[in-house]
A and B are shown apart, each in its own frame.
Chain A
Amino acid sequence: MRKASIRQYAEAYLGAAKAAPQKEQAKIANRLVTVLARQRQLRLVPRIAAELERLIAEQGGPLVVQVRSAKTLTAAEDTELAKNLEKALDRKVKIRHVHEAKLLAGVKIQVGDKLIDNALSSRFANLKAHLLHT
């Protein structure tokens, strides 16, 4: 059988998951993993998951926004950020927090492949590149 593309896997899974009742969901996920394992495509799982998020967002679901920060955000900061993001993107968002100490300070906010970079580490990297160039 010809191997399907990542997008095709994601579309097929989403279609099946939508049609099935709640208690069947785990079974469907299991089946996808079995199919992938049989086709030796298990390494695609993270990319299929990312594609699924994209598909859900395309179909009106919440947009997943990855927020990487050096320190864990407080609950107040969190709601403030979510409110601002929802306003800026004009849609419902789902924030995924990643704690990354090496950023030193500031945040990196990523929506799809657009990145807003406000981390201190990036600024240092820019300064280093600038100094090396002059």
Chain B
Amino acid sequence: MSHTIVDVLKEQLQSYTAKASTATVGHVIDVGDGIARVEGLSNVKASEKVTFASGATGVALNLEEDTVGVMILNGATIVQEGEEVRGTGQVMSVPVGDALIGRVVNPLGEPIDGKGAIKATDTFPVERVAPGVITRESVKQPVQTGIKAIDALIPIGRGQRELIIGDRQTGKTAIAIDTIINQKNSGVICIYVAIGQKASKIARIVAELEKHGAMQHTVIVLASASDPAALSFLAPYAGCAMGEYFMSQGKDALVVYDDLSKHAWAYRQVSLLLRRPPGREAYPGDIFYLHSRLLERAAKLNKDNGGGSLTALPIIETQAGDMSAYIPTNVISITDGQIILESDLFYQGQRPALNVGLSVSRVGSSAQRKAMKKVAGKLRLDMAQYRELAAFAQFGSDLDAATKQQLERGKRTAELLKQGIGQPMLLAEQVAVLYAVTQGYLDDVEVENVQTWEKHFTKSLRTGSSAWVKKIEDSGELTPELEEQLKTALTTFKQS
């Protein structure tokens, strides 16, 4: 260590020239709540990074007639009135690259996991214009979440933006984490951006990911609840920039923003402190643009541009199920569909607590694998009819046989869509069990035994090492021959 210091000193001393540095400077007029008003800095640009004499850094956000409003990123407490501020001439940027994988960093790209410095080769600006029309192509490859209900009914494609929305404690983060765990062998690099989260929750998530060996393809960007609002505001853009790097390398990346409601709160705080006029719910006028410019950066690039993709899974927390509040409606309108989680369903034991009727994926179905598409069509119809009948059947008891049968199958389907946390399933397994329920192989299994049946059946698939399972998994197709083999497997399993 001392050796390197001497080396650097030598290098510095050797390159010492009498040439003076020039800079644009200003002085802090007042400072408070993480915002500094600076006089001078006449040529500073919007979003330019500035440095304070005390060592703090900030971003120039408000350019006014005779002052500049600076959002202080780190060291808000050490900045003093009258202090010198220098413009850097550069926009805010973060380190990107493979060196970040497996690490926990703050929104400035500095490591906070105690595993030493990050030797990143490249930096990307945090604010970037989204890829244009010419460089994009439509979503066509799936992101397998490993969750039956989602992969079958609300499929997500690479480059899609799918909102996960629900009240607190409905399993929003769990869906995102399961999706990250399931990307282990898919080549998708995941970035989990925690905005205003408890550090304890992140420690738990890191432990969970490490347990499943999923940190090897994951970057965690953390702006914890005790960090200044400026960092919470920056976090999703920083995470997005890190994902964009992988997209630009032709790879596939997935970013989870957990959650954008807290991001909106942080931006509201910064905006009000900068004295920008408040609008609805005291959010500033550009709150829609705040999220739309972030989510627009998710894209599937065409072959000429490397063919990479950036999938976004924003999370929104609603208050008492109010989807029509300001921020939820904004983000719903920006994204390509939403996964709606409801606390009622959660307490009824339906986990994931997915509202299958209201959840949609606007573009994902074109990315769905053929085998899954084959079983999902029937499944969606069954579920819709079941919901209709279940509501109706509550009033009358004398039902005809066909209705009864439909209801019974619906109950089993709903039961089969339940899935525990941290138990992602392979495509072939999902296809097999969903095929079984839609084709009536489970009609004579008691509803309470459906999950046991599923457990044993998937176990038999895993241990049986049947060639057809691997074939479905690899090709993603359910050809008539494979279907026959699946049928035989189901019948023999039933007999045993």
Contact = CB atoms under 8 A, between A and B. Distances in A.
Given A127-B9, A127-B12, A115 B23 contact: yes
Contact of B40 (A113, A127, A131, A134): A113
A61 interface: no
Given A6-B66, A130-B12, A113 B41 contact: yes
Of B26, B29, B40, which is in contact with the most chain A CB atoms at under 10 Å from its CB? Answer: B40
A112 B39 CA distance: 11
A128 to B, nearest CB: 9
Contacts of B29: 47
B25 A110 contact: yes
Interface residues of B, number: 23
Contacts, number: 48
A5 interface: yes
Contacts of A110: 25
A7 B39 CA distance: 13
Given A6-B66, A47-B39, A127-B12, A116 B24 contact: no
Interface SS of A by simple majority: mixed
28 contacts: A5-B66, A6-B66, A7-B65, A7-B66, A106-B20, A110-B25, A113-B25, A113-B26, A113-B40, A113-B42, A113-B43, A114-B23, A114-B24, A114-B25, A115-B22, A115-B25, A115-B86, A116-B20, A117-B20, A118-B20, A118-B21, A122-B21, A123-B16, A127-B9, A127-B12, A131-B8, A134-B4, A134-B8
A89 to B, nearest CB: 14
Interface residues of A, number: 19
B381 interface: no
A34 to B, nearest CB: 23
A6 B40 CA distance: 13
B391 interface: no
Of A6, A113, A127, which is in contact with the most chain B CB atoms at under 10 Å from its CB? Answer: A113
B399 interface: no
Interface of A: 5-7, 47, 106, 110, 112-118, 122-123, 127, 130-131, 134
Nearest to A110: B25
Interface of B: 4-5, 8-9, 12, 16, 18, 20-26, 29, 39-43, 65-66, 86
Given A113-B41, A115-B25, A116-B20, 16 more contacts: A5-B66, A47-B39, A47-B66, A113-B25, A113-B26, A113-B40, A114-B22, A115-B22, A115-B23, A115-B86, A117-B22, A118-B18, A118-B21, A122-B21, A127-B12, A131-B5
Contacts of A118: 18, 20-21
A87 B25 CA distance: 23
